[in-house]
Amino acid sequence: MSKKNIVVVGGGYAGLSVINKLEGTLPSNYRIVLVEKQEFMFLRLAAARASTSEDISDQVLVAYDRVFKSQDVGVVVKASVTQIKPHSVVISTPHDLFGSEIDFEYLVCQTAPQF
């Protein structure tokens, strides 16, 4: 049976905290799909600490491929969402599994305003 997608757009603090909550209670017929345009999350607080004496530079950028334990729970798609339709999102770069459009049962949009 194919899985239903919960698509989360944006892997910032808000998107990742939603994923964190969902992972623990996800029904087996659902999968989380994180669509994020960057390869790494930039941890701003860690960046401030890294500018002092501690060597924590490896923790300033966290690779998104570490978000999910298995593809059964979630998949990371590195792309920008360019369009939101009633039941799908269109992405900038085609993905092996989904192509250029990802169907969703639920959509969480956490792209944040740009500073």
Ligand X SMILES: Cc1cc2nc3c(=O)[nH]c(=O)nc-3n(C[C@H](O)[C@H](O)[C@H](O)COP(=O)(O)OP(=O)(O)OC[C@H]3O[C@@H](n4cnc5c(N)ncnc54)[C@H](O)[C@@H]3O)c2cc1C
Q: Is 5 in the site for ligand X (CB under 6 A)?
A: no
Helices (H) and strands (E) in the chain, counts: 2, 9
Q: Is 19 in the site for ligand X (CB under 6 A)?
A: no
Q: Is 13 in the site for ligand X (CB under 6 A)?
A: yes
Nearer to ligand X, 14 or 61 (CB): 14
Amino acid at 89: V
Rounded distance between C-alpha atoms, residue 95 and residue 74, angstroms: 14
Which 60-99 positions form the footprint of ligand X (CB under 6 A)?
Answer: 80-81
Among 1, 24, 45, 69, binds ligand X (CB under 6 A): 45
Amino acid at 39: E
Is the sign of the CA dihedral 38, 40, 42, 47 positive or negative? negative
The binding site for ligand X (CB under 6 A) comprises 9-15, 35-38, 44-45, 80-81, 110-112, 115
